[in-house]
Structure 1
Amino acid sequence: MRTPRPLPAAIAVVAVAAVAAVAVWRPWEGSADAAGGPPQITVSRSQCGQGWTDAKAGRQTFTLRNTGDAAAEVDLVEVGTDKVYGEVEGLGPNTSAPMDVQLGAGRYAFRCLIEDTDPITGPSVTLTGEAKSGPAAVAVTKNDMLPLVKQYEAAVASGVADLAARTDKLKADVDGGDLDAARADWLPAHLAYNSLGAAYDAFGDFADKIDGADGFHPLEKGLWHNASAGDLKPIADGLADAVHGLQADLPDEQVDPNDLGLRAHEIMENALQFELTGENDQGSGTTLNTALANLDGTARVLAILDPVLKPRYPDLPQVRKWEDRVRALLTAHQNTLVTQLDQSTREQLNGAVGELLEKLAPVAAICEVRRSS
């Protein structure tokens, strides 16, 4: 429901999806040092995964060299389990990129995913030794994610219907000149929107019309700074119109399966940046309430992703632990201005959200759809 942000040209990512770290490299020109540098692995339609010599277990770096004429993605997989131990994306023709991995004893192979070509698996290599394997994740397929996307879309549609009812009530308050009622109804409507998890332009142009420069925020400012009903009427009317426009547009929108994993982290990232700092407060003093609604949105996404995450992410219980900790802190301080929190509470809250974000960081990598056949 957002326009995907394009990856920068030729980004190389080694996905360590089972722990809270994702390392990023950019491809570089050149080749491995022939006198003992990293093994140079060929990436092409005719020679996928060639060049792995002196195979051994442990920490090691490969140089992936695309000798073909099309961009490629390269995975290092365990033969038999299909676990992905390393990944490089956007490797352009005649470019190279390093892949750093930790491998235990077992059989491995490079898989080349080249544009307009079925996946190609190179020769398998057997490693021996006592070293333990590093993080890995079983590849998630589009078939794994599509039912979850449908659940998410249904949840969003239900949430937008509730939002429409609440913004209609808010509009009626303002149109009728009852600003006390409007102040009482503003927060439930605003929380209904923020619990949808509308992070990073999830709703396109509707996001600004509802909760950006237009919509809820100028309405909040006017309601808590003595604006007249006449001045607020066009804002409330525009807000309601935008919500109904979003509702009408939803059936025509499609969620990219990869966006669902991103959403889990980005919702709370937004909360940290805009709500826990008080930046978004326009007078109501309710940014901590909004952060709690953002946490609800995160929890909804995680619940939907649970079938994919549970068998792939050992730290998922830690996500639940820190989610509960953040929820307890935000619940205890609802309706409190951020600036009125004492230093100890602010440190506890910021620390808990930071830990939660760290545990959420691998979710996008784990849930990324990968071609394997």
Structure 2
Amino acid sequence: MRRSAPLILSLVAISAVAACGKKDDSTAAASGGPITVKASDTSCEVAKSTLDAGTHVFTVSNSGSKVTEFYVYAAGDRVMGEIENITPGLSRELRVELPAGTYQTACKPGMIGDGIRNALTVSGSAAALTEDAALGQASASYTRYITSQSEALVQKTTDFANAVKAGDIEKAKALYPVARTYYERIEPVAEIFGDLDPKIDGREDDATAELPFTGYHKLEKDLWVTKDISKDGPIADQLVTDVKEIATKAKAEKLSPLQLANGAKELLDEVAASKITGEEERYSHTDLWDFAANVDGSQAAVAALRPALEQRNPELVKQIDKAFAAVDSELAKYRSGDGWKLQTELTQEQLKGLSDVINALAEPISKIAGVIAQK
């Protein structure tokens, strides 16, 4: 679970790359400027419904009273790009590469449901970012990482499920955060595939008639709260089935360079929104395992992009490396054996320290997409 020193060092170059952001943004040039999205509790007004193929910037502002999300979906609700946790009054940008095809945009007030959707048509052709040799290599490198993590995810989740089916509560409790680690590392890929992520990782308050409360967190609740897993065999079996499916799809998925950049930032947003607060692992309080795994996944995405970032903005690479080192140093204070202390064992001051280093890291990470989108 520990990140290797070579990988940490490899990130040094990434910070430097982002400094090149003073070049003209080809995304804005190609699209005539950012595409504004006005989101509220009841509407999702997207300025354009037709676009030329290529890379585009969506600028999403939330005038509602609820936290919202913005998605660009391909057929089958395959996620091309997303922004989560857009709080009221906040405006955020999403860069996404779109080949010709039909898509949907969606705002999700309250971050639930199918969202308020609009049709989006993309036509024409444009050179893919992966035609740049360094960016093409980044996608290939990250695919190898996802493959290794997905294989471990299936094995560790199977071990966890077997303990649940055997009725061994203590063993299942010990295996639970280990299995979760591998899922949290590949979350940007896992979230691409429609309803699979909610089935595996959905929380109790997000459950619907169509997607009932199941997966990891249902088992988590039964292990730590109800303390009765005698009827959870079918849930454990379904979890393994769903994890195998998502692992197969994840290993076959070829993420674009912008998806890598966006995913690195999304993982840090996940840390800030639900790991530090204790919302994610509300029954087991094993949130720091997820925290470390999200940082691992973000670091892997950035490391894959390193050669391209070094070419384009070596100063940004230095900033990112320094920020990752600060996160590692702060998080190391809360080691416990081969794992981590419970979230509830940390004081508010300690949680704020973790929040501060994550926010400091998220700032330079957020610049990567802009650097990558440059032609």
Residue pairs, 1:1-373, within 5 angstroms: 18=19, 116=124, 141-198=131-188, 201-213=191-203, 214-250=214-250, 252-313=252-313, 314-334=315-335, 335-368=340-373, 370=375
The 3 A distance-change label for structure 1 pair 318 and 118 is closer
**Is the partner of 1:186 in helix, strand or coil?**
helix
Kindly indicate whether the alpha-carbon contact (under 8 Å) linking 2:185 and 2:296 is maintained by their aligned counterparts in 1: yes
**Is the partner of 1:229 in helix, strand or coil?**
coil
**Is the partner of 2:312 in helix, strand or coil?**
coil
The 3 A distance-change label for structure 1 pair 178 and 344 is closer
Number of the residue aligned with 2:65: none
1:29-62 alpha-carbon deviations (Å, 9 max, x no partner)? xxxxxxxxxxxx9x99xxxxxxxxxxxxxxxxxx
Partner Cα separation in structure 1 for residue 356 and residue 298 of structure 2: 18
The 3 A distance-change label for structure 1 pair 304 and 231 is same
Kindly indicate whether the alpha-carbon contact (under 8 Å) linking 1:199 and 1:267 is maintained by their aligned counterparts in 2: no
**Is the partner of 1:18 in helix, strand or coil?**
helix
Partner Cα separation in structure 2 for residue 345 and residue 18 of structure 1: 32
Partner Cα separation in structure 2 for residue 361 and residue 175 of structure 1: 42
Shift of 1:186: 0.8
Kindly indicate whether the alpha-carbon contact (under 8 Å) linking 1:72 and 1:89 is maintained by their aligned counterparts in 2: no
Number of the residue aligned with 2:82: none
Shift of 1:172: 1.1
Number of the residue aligned with 1:64: none
AA aligned to 1:190 is: R
1:68-88 alpha-carbon deviations (Å, 9 max, x no partner)? x9859899xxxxxxxxxxxx9
The 3 A distance-change label for structure 1 pair 326 and 74 is closer
Kindly indicate whether the alpha-carbon contact (under 8 Å) linking 1:142 and 1:369 is maintained by their aligned counterparts in 2: no
Q: TM-score when scaled to structure 1?
A: 0.61
Which structure would you say has the larger RCO, counting Cα contacts within 8 Å and 6 or more residues apart? Answer: 2
Kindly indicate whether the alpha-carbon contact (under 8 Å) linking 2:130 and 2:257 is maintained by their aligned counterparts in 1: no
Partner Cα separation in structure 2 for residue 343 and residue 182 of structure 1: 29
More deviation in 288-297 or 245-254? Answer: 245-254
The 3 A distance-change label for structure 1 pair 154 and 140 is closer
Partner Cα separation in structure 1 for residue 299 and residue 51 of structure 2: 40
More deviation in 221-230 or 175-184? Answer: 221-230
Partner Cα separation in structure 2 for residue 22 and residue 266 of structure 1: 25
Q: Could you say which structure has the higher helix fraction?
A: 2
Q: TM-score when scaled to structure 2?
A: 0.61
1:108-151 alpha-carbon deviations (Å, 9 max, x no partner)? xxxxxx964789xxxxxxxxxxxxxxxxxxx9854432222122
Aligned residue pairs: how many?
262
Number of the residue aligned with 1:93: none
Gaps of at least 5 residues in structure 2 are 1-16, 33-49, 57-94, 98-121, 204-213
1:90-114 alpha-carbon deviations (Å, 9 max, x no partner)? 9xxxxxxxxxxxxxxxxxxxxxxx9
Shift of 1:22: 12
**Is the partner of 2:170 in helix, strand or coil?**
helix
Partner Cα separation in structure 1 for residue 188 and residue 51 of structure 2: 35
Kindly indicate whether the alpha-carbon contact (under 8 Å) linking 1:221 and 1:283 is maintained by their aligned counterparts in 2: yes
AA aligned to 1:215 is: G
Partner Cα separation in structure 2 for residue 179 and residue 260 of structure 1: 37
**Is the partner of 2:277 in helix, strand or coil?**
coil
Partner Cα separation in structure 1 for residue 55 and residue 191 of structure 2: 30
Query: Which of 1 and 2 has greater Rg?
Result: 1
The 3 A distance-change label for structure 1 pair 89 and 342 is closer
Kindly indicate whether the alpha-carbon contact (under 8 Å) linking 2:268 and 2:294 is maintained by their aligned counterparts in 1: yes
AA aligned to 1:18 is: A
Kindly indicate whether the alpha-carbon contact (under 8 Å) linking 2:54 and 2:126 is maintained by their aligned counterparts in 1: no
Kindly indicate whether the alpha-carbon contact (under 8 Å) linking 1:264 and 1:363 is maintained by their aligned counterparts in 2: no
AA aligned to 1:263 is: G
Partner Cα separation in structure 1 for residue 304 and residue 55 of structure 2: 29
The 3 A distance-change label for structure 1 pair 302 and 252 is closer
Partner Cα separation in structure 1 for residue 264 and residue 54 of structure 2: 25
CA RMSD of aligned residues (A): 3.8
The 3 A distance-change label for structure 1 pair 20 and 357 is farther
The 3 A distance-change label for structure 1 pair 22 and 268 is farther
